[in-house]
Structure formats: C-alpha cells, structure tokens
A = this chain, B = another copy of it.
C-alpha cells in the first residue's frame, strides 16, 4: 500500500518537469543564500550598531532609516515609508522588587524584575503582603483575601509541550490581562513568573493591557529562579514585598513601516507580502525578536536579485513598526491596503526567532492545501516542510483586505526561543548564522512557489 501510494501519488509529481524545475530554482536561491548571505552581517549592524528599538525610541527611527537605505541598495524597484502612529511607552527607570519580610522577620532579598510593557509606574515605593495564585480560578475562590496585597501569578510553562509557543499562549494570559483581573479585587500590584522556561534568572518583559474599569496597578515579571523561590516560600510563610516601577506614556510617536517592492511581470496587481517587525523591547537587542525576521526578509530580496529572479506577482518586503506593544504597523499596512483597494494573495511572516527552520505553517482552504502539500518535499533538503496552520501577528490583519487569502509563518525550532524572548539575553551572540540563513532559504522557497504557481487550488 505504501508502495502504491508512492507510485500513484508522490512519485509522478516528483518526476514531473515542473517539480524538477522548482527544485532547481529553489536550490539556486538556497546556494546563493548559504554561500553569500548577508543576513548575519546586517543583523550585526542592526543589533550592535543600533540596539534595542522600542516604538517611540530614537533607535526605532534610526532602524527605519537603516532599513530603507539597505533595501534601496539591495535593488528594490521602490522603497517607501508608510506612516504609523505608535504608542510611546517609556520604562522610566530601573525597576525594583524585593522580599522585605518573611513571617514578620525583616529581610532584604532583591528579586530580579522588569516592569511589563505598557504598565504604569508605582508612583513611589510600594510595600504590601504577597498572595500567590497558580490560576485565575484559584484567585476567584480567594478573592476576599486580595485587597491591599500584591498578587503573584505563577505563570510557568508546561514543560511537556514540544511546541513552546503553545505553552507561551497558555501561560501568557497572566501577563496580558492579570493586572486588571487582580485590581478588580483590590490588589495593589502584580508580579508574574517570567514567560520563560530558561534555567537562568533573567526577567522577561512583554506587553500587557489594562481594563479601563479598574485601577491601573503596577505589573512586573520576575526572573524564573527568583519566581520559583518566591512561590515556594509563599506556600509556607507570610511574605511582604516592596516594588517600584516608573512606566509612563508620551504622546503617540510618528513612525513608519518600511516597504520595498519588486514589481510583478505578469500579475503586478497581485501582492505577496513577506516581512517581520523592526521594533523590539528596550531591554535587549531584539536579535531573534525580530531582528532575525527583518534580515531574513532583506536576504530574500538580495538573493532574488542575485539569481536574477523576476517575479510574476508583486513582492513586498515589509518591515513593520510597533509589533511589540501596539500592533499598529500591521494594522496600518492592512488599512492602507483597503484604502488602496489592493489585492493580497499571499503573506509570510518570520517572527518566531532565527533558529533552524522546521516548517512553513500555512493557513489556507482544504482545496489549496491539496496543492501546497505536494510542494512539501521540496523543502526537505533545507530542513523544512509545509504544515497546515500558521500566520504572524503583523500579517494577520490582512484577512480584512482579502478574506480568502493565504497566510503563513516560518516555524523554527522553538526550544531556545523563550529562553531569551523579551529578556536582555536576546542579543546577536545568541543567533547562529547558519540557522538564520536556512530560515531565509525556506522562506525564499515558499515565496517562489506562491509567486510562480499562484495560491489558487
């Protein structure tokens, strides 16, 4: 039966002239990227030369200029800014947290901590008793005990999940909405276990939002080691903690998506978008998140020019502003597409780190998938495959433009991603050149296939 399957189904397709030609074109781009790739050098410039680039920072402005200059030099038909108003959150100072008493006995045990992005400052030093919960259900049950206290959420990852993004999605709810849920019952601040399975003690920041109905209390993430110890201690002892944060907003900033285009030769009105986000958190270099996606996007443009690939459809290389704490860049790109009545057929995002690719995840109709899955073996020599389901935060709003369009995301190996995601360890030194380039190879492959064969079934 297995043999028959190969004979009737896979083999004929793999033997077609078309398959052979696709395979050769992808190999040509792959060899170009692996031999002459500039993504790693560009990443060094972005991370070491410019550094952290939170929306509203001078670094974000500088990164956009750097990107525009480089995309022009790489030979795009046109490169332009697309204006975006972004939030302008400032950390405002060096966040502080400590245990100051255990069962009534005064101590000073500093806790490694970072205020969550978009959280407001504590307005001076706060001290209160700590109460710890592992779930919202547990908090609901004990809501009477919360008033006047600091709530700690033990938002640890499920270690048995191979897909760390699933563990992140589950635990992430405490970071995203925990503050207002605790404020509802009178909490004066929240602390969470950093959204990370790292073995070190670096705290991980990340975006949160307040529910306008409740007081906007301070919110901090603790280093994993400190968080584990605090949680353990809270089971047996009465703990008092101190904290101070400084977060505030300035007026929205004027920023830009950076868009480069190669115009299609046959169906120039059909747009394929590939991109990542140019902003990062303030506490690191944003090397994996999402410097990797930025330089992979630039690398694909470079490689297409180097092998003289002329796309049939218009390919847009988009470096989005403000993914981290506002999603304004992706939303504005979609809004402009609606205003300009653009026809978007396919989009690909890289925003899960510059690690070895495992697949391109594709969201599409069952009919389209029947076509795409035949392409999957073309990715095998480069460590990848095509899998069903996948997108990215910045391209997701495009469904408002063309509801049936195909969205996709690069899915790299995710074991190390949350070790450094939003922590100060997300630096250039933790990116591997070959892993980064293989990501670009797989991305270039799917863009070629979607461009050349179209996304229709």
Contacts and interface: CB of A to CB of B under 8 A. Distances in A.
A160 B159 CA distance: 34
B160 A31 contact: yes
A164 B159 CA distance: 29
Contacts of A413: 356, 383, 413
A416 interface: yes
A413 B432 CA distance: 13
A456 interface: no
B433 A199 contact: yes
Contacts of A159: 34-35, 434
Copies of this chain present in the complex amount to 2
Contacts of A110: none
Given A199-B433, A356-B413, A416-B432, 16 more contacts: A1-B5, A1-B8, A1-B9, A2-B9, A2-B373, A5-B9, A34-B159, A34-B160, A35-B159, A35-B160, A40-B199, A162-B382, A162-B383, A356-B415, A383-B413, A415-B432
Interface residues of A, number: 32
A381 interface: yes
Interface of A: 1-2, 5, 8-9, 30-31, 34-35, 40, 159-160, 162, 164, 197, 199, 356, 358, 370, 373, 381-383, 413, 415-416, 419, 432-435, 438
Contacts of A162: 381-383, 438
9 contacts: A1-B5, A2-B373, A162-B382, A162-B438, A199-B433, A356-B415, A416-B432, A416-B434, A416-B435
Contact of A415 (B30, B31, B40, B438): B438
A1 B373 CA distance: 13
Contacts of A40: 199
A323 to B, nearest CB: 25
Contacts of A381: 162
A381 B163 CA distance: 9
A197 B35 contact: no
A358 to B, nearest CB: 8
Nearest to A197: B434
A9 B9 CA distance: 14
A433 B157 CA distance: 14
A2 B6 CA distance: 10
Contact of A30 (B8, B160, B383): B160
Contacts of A9: 1-2, 5
A197 to B, nearest CB: 6
A373 to B, nearest CB: 8
A2 B382 CA distance: 24
A378 to B, nearest CB: 13
A202 to B, nearest CB: 14
Nearest to A434: B415
Contacts of A160: 30-31, 34-35
A324 to B, nearest CB: 24
